[in-house]
Amino acid sequence: MAEQIADRTTDHFGDHLAQAAELLAEYPVVDGHNDLPWALREQVGYDLDARDIATDQSAHLHTDIGRLRAGGVGAQFWSVYVRSDMAGEDAVSATLEQIDVVAELLDRYPADLRRALTADDMEAARTEGRIASLMGAEGGHSINNSLGTLRALHALGVRYMTLTHNDNIAWADSATDEPGVGGLSPFGHEVVREMNRTGMLVDLSHVAATTMRDALATSTAPVMFSHSSSRAICDHPRNVPDDVLAQLPANGGIAMATFVPKFVLPEAVEWTRAADRNMRDRGLHHLDTTAQAMKIHAEFEAAHPRPMATVATIADHLDHMREVAGIDHIGIGGDYDGTAFLPSGLEDVAGYPNLIAELLGRGWSAADLAKLTWRNAVRVLRDAEAVARDLQTRRGPSHATIQELDARAS
């Protein structure tokens, strides 16, 4: 009897998988966050011959073109992340290098990747059957407290900036650091206003809940969470609290659920805490993904079996986020190549159809899923463009400095 039920479930899942592929062919996935550029930097020093993503790279990367295609990805925000401990030294130049490697990827694979700077570009890419390639910076340390640098990143094609990474910066608090300025400083508010004016999306993943609320209060454009899930389902500071999710309808923004097990599965949160402690005890950075670091991780895992997240875990988050924020304000941000582990069924960028099939099994309609995968993210970028056009008729570029604004406040 039990076997029969299992079989029937499998059959349904098979049907759903076929249906998911059909849906994704029409409304492919816009993914909010993929760390391929950083992986290319760390693994091969940007030697793209050594990691030809036109060929199968499953031995080294979560991402290659074949698997993006299999996963039904139609648009990708490539993260031009740099480590926050580079702040003030070479964070800006490293960000420029990250932007440069995305440009080189576009030059190398023009049949599959298409530069996208606007919502129209995204739609054009979908029509052409190419993957719209956008860029997002991960952390305010990439602009070195300079609004001119922010505008330069926008001119180079960066379309969102996460306000912080794992550490506080001078003008914004991170989710994974002690309270600093208590959200956004006055200069932090000015950064948000200038992002609205230039048309760069304000990304609130990684930031403290206080920063989320401050940014939502100031931003006149829709905001995004490029890779964050629900705190009600898994109480981790990287996730979004319900009161913030509830503000998204009024703001028009989007929360893109991430797959990282240590953020989405409560059992994995505790396990990861122990694993990170183990890494630091061995004198390594806990986010290190070099061969040596991965070996130490593997040893730890052999001794302490890792709790497994599944497709259902992510679907639980999306069900809840949909409940609180509404169907028009959710999306997907896998964080591939930015995390060591992933849920079963979502091991690489080919996995999105499994998630869609799971949601079909939970009764999500085709129209709902089109919003989740494609339409919401495109709408958010389009609305941000409209806000920018409007603001530009009324305001010139801001030349405020952090010294001016934050000295006055303190």
Partner 1 sequence: MADLQDHVDTATAIGQLDAEYAQISAPARPSPVPHPDAPAPPDPLARARALLAAHPVVDGFNGLAHAVRSIPWCDLELGERSLDTDVPRLRAGRVGAQFWSLQVPADHAGDRAVSATLDRIDQVRALVAAYPEALRPAHGVGEMTDARNCGRVAALLGPVSGHALADSLGTLRAYHALGVRSITLTGTSWTGRGGGLTRFGQEVVREMNRLGILVDLTGASPDTMRRALAVAKAPVIFSHSAAHELTDHPSNVPDDVLRMLRSNNGLCMVGFAADQVAREGTASLREVADHLEHVREVAGPDCVGLGAGYDTGATHADGLTDVSRYPQLIAELLERDWSESDVAALTWGNAARVMREAEFASRAAQLRRAPSTATIGELDR
Applying CB under 8 A, the residues found at the interface with partner 1 are 45-48, 87-94, 96-101, 103-104, 143-146, 148-149, 151-152, 155-156, 396-397
Whether 335 sits among the annotated catalytic residues: the reply is: yes
Whether 286 sits among the annotated catalytic residues: the reply is: no
Whether 227 sits among the annotated catalytic residues: the reply is: yes
CB-nearer residue toward partner 1: 98 or 229: 98
**Are the beta carbons of 139 and 211 closer than 8 angstroms?**
no
CB-nearer residue toward partner 1: 26 or 104: 104
CB-nearer residue toward partner 1: 106 or 279: 106
Whether 167 sits among the annotated catalytic residues: the reply is: no
Closest approach, Cβ 87 to partner 1, in A, equals: 7
> Which residues, other chains included, contact 339 with Cβ-Cβ below 8 Å and sequence gap of 6+?
259, 260, 261, 262
Whether 165 sits among the annotated catalytic residues: the reply is: yes
Task: Tell me the chain's radius of gyration from C-alpha atoms.
Answer: 20
Write down the catalytic residue from 154, 165, 189, 329: 165
Closest approach, Cβ 186 to partner 1, in A, equals: 20
Write down the catalytic residue from 33, 189, 297, 329: 33
Write down the catalytic residue from 16, 154, 189, 206: 206
CB-nearer residue toward partner 1: 195 or 255: 195
Task: Please give the C-alpha separations between residue 136 and each of 43, 210, 284, 374, 393, in angstroms, as whole numbers.
Answer: 21, 22, 27, 17, 25
Closest approach, Cβ 169 to partner 1, in A, equals: 12
Whether 242 sits among the annotated catalytic residues: the reply is: no
Write down the catalytic residue from 154, 227, 317, 329: 227
Range 375-379, long-range pairs (CB < 8 A, 24+ positions): 375/27, 376/254, 376/328, 376/329, 376/330, 376/331, 377/30, 377/32, 377/75, 377/224, 377/254, 377/256, 377/331, 378/30, 378/75, 378/119, 378/122, 378/123, 379/119, 379/252, 379/328
Cα–Cα nearest to 337, from 30, 60, 65, 31: 60
Whether 177 sits among the annotated catalytic residues: the reply is: no
Closest approach, Cβ 144 to partner 1, in A, equals: 4
User: Mind telling me the catalytic residues?
Assistant: 33, 35, 138, 165, 206, 227, 335
